[in-house]
Chain A
Amino acid sequence: MAIPENLELEIKQLLVERLFLKMKPEDIGDEEPLMATYGIDSVALFELVVGLEEVYGITMEDDEFSLDLFQNIKSIANFVRSKWTARGG
């Protein structure tokens, strides 16, 4: 699986889908603070983590998890790219 060129948009689509947000993915800014803007609570964040693992085939290790990873779309995309790079995918 190659890293998609529009990974940020894909992650926005995942966010809208998994959190049942009634909005278009493209309306989410790349650097918008997600938790403050969309009121993401622990349940929503969990769904997002599970979604990322399922869709991108990555596993988040216990010591990798940090709220900083979910600051915004860009930080999430960077994390996904780093996981892919690490496994040579």
Chain B
Amino acid sequence: MTEEQVLFASEGLTLYGVLHRAEADSPRPALVFCPPFAEERKCAHRIMVECARVLCPMGVDILRFDLRGCGDSEGEFGQATLTRWLSDLETAAHWLTEHAQPSALGLLGLRLGASLAAQYTEQHPEVRWLGLWEPVTDGSQDWRLSLRRQQIRQAITQDQGLEDSEAAPSHERGYDLDGYEVSEAMRREFAQLSLLHQPRVFRGPVWIAQISATAAPHRAHLALQQAYQQSGASCDLEVVVAEPFWSLLGLARAPELIAKTVGAACRTLL
């Protein structure tokens, strides 16, 4: 397996990525990893790297990349929108197809990255496998929870104050989500995001991984599975009991999730 840093252009901006190349014979399948939103990327990054390093030697080329305004890609986070990020994902998938000439293309996303991947496949039903780690199925609900998370963090911060504490000064434009500038345009698109519309164009296979403390499938994931199945797509839902590593403050590991993901991806792509 080799790993190389790559740069490619998306609507005039340079995006950064890492291409994991397998040593198997060509042509071989390829996968695009779609990262999660804002600080979730920081927490989840190493797990996505570990997953790529387990999956690639099985014979799958993998492109991990940063959306515009994120990580090492160009652009300002505050100028990003879900539409522009979907465009970045299109560019990444196109770049990988051009350079790796894969026998089959798959996508794997985490949280919002999973939602973007799902949206991409609605426009590109030729994708051969879609893996969704904890997809955001309802953007307005997720936005509400993001604000709640921020509220909790601010309350704890104020509680730990050495002196009379002050809340973080408010931001003059858009929203300040713990150091990420979220534009009103982004917030609106978040509020409109829903994966539960029917019918769905993509016919699968789709593999949904629910990562949660409880073993029981969540209603939202069951509804997404149903939406796919009722449209004639094959869709499996698997629960991995694990901490929500994308929001942890410390280092996280997810060996069971990685093992199950590799199994699910290889069963279809290889």
Contacts and interface: CB of A to CB of B under 8 A. Distances in A.
Mostly helix, strand, loop or mixed at chain A's interface?
helix
A7 interface: no
B153 A42 contact: yes
Interface residues of A, number: 19
B155 interface: yes
Interface string A1-27: 000000000000000011110000000
B249 interface: yes
B253 to A, nearest CB: 13
Nearest to A59: B144
B243 A46 contact: no
A62 B213 contact: no
A51 B216 CA distance: 13
B159 interface: yes
A18 B216 CA distance: 13
Given A47-B244, A66-B155, A42 B149 contact: yes
Interface of A: 17-20, 41-43, 45-47, 49-51, 54, 60, 62, 65-67
Interface of B: 145, 147-149, 151-153, 155-156, 159, 213-214, 218, 243-244, 247-249
Given A17-B214, A43-B248, A46-B149, 15 more contacts: A18-B213, A20-B243, A41-B156, A41-B249, A42-B152, A42-B153, A42-B156, A42-B249, A43-B244, A46-B152, A46-B247, A47-B244, A62-B147, A62-B151, A65-B151
